[in-house]
């Protein structure tokens, strides 16, 4: 009996992603647009948005945690590169790999836990 194995796919993700539904603004050129974060990690995120973004495009992202009783909103701004983009129904999903380090992003991830 011969066994056929499927080729192994390399896991390119450096850190685990947290599922979430956060509102974020992203900047392409000099204009800001709204989007929804579907999952988030220290090294990247997946967004749902209303337009297709070209692979390798540079984007700015501004994350904001929702206000909770007695707390203030946390903000984190980070730059990123579009890793992939695909159409999902009427919207688009885009994978973003962050550029550099954003300490405020770590605080945001802790707040989501």
Please, are residues 41 and 15 in contact by the beta-carbon 8 Å criterion? yes
CATH number, span 18-112: 2.40.10.220
pLDDT of residue 22: 81
Task: Give the distance from CA 38 to its chain's centroid.
Answer: 7
For 2-28, the pLDDT digits (tens) are 444 444 444 454 566 777 878 899 999
Distance CA 88, CA 90 (A): 6
Domain ranges across the chain? 18-112
**CB within 8 Å of 6: residues ≥ 6 apart:** none
| pLDDT score at 67 | 61
Distance between CA atoms of 16 and 91, rounded to whole angstroms? 25
Distance from the Cα of residue 77 to its chain's centroid:
12
């Amino acid at each position: 009996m011969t066994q056929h194995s499927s080729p192994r796919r390399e896991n390119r993700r450096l850190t685990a992603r947290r599922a979430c539904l956060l509102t974020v603004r992203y900047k392409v050129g000099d204009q800001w647009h709204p989007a929804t974060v579907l999952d988030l990690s220290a090294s990247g995120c997946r967004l749902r948005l209303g337009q297709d973004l070209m692979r390798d495009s540079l984007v700015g992202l501004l994350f904001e945690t929702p206000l909770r009783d007695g707390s203030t909103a946390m903000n984190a701004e980070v730059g990123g590169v579009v890793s992939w983009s695909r159409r999902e129904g009427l919207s688009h999903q885009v994978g973003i790999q962050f550029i550099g380090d954003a300490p405020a992003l770590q605080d945001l991830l802790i707040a989501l836990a």
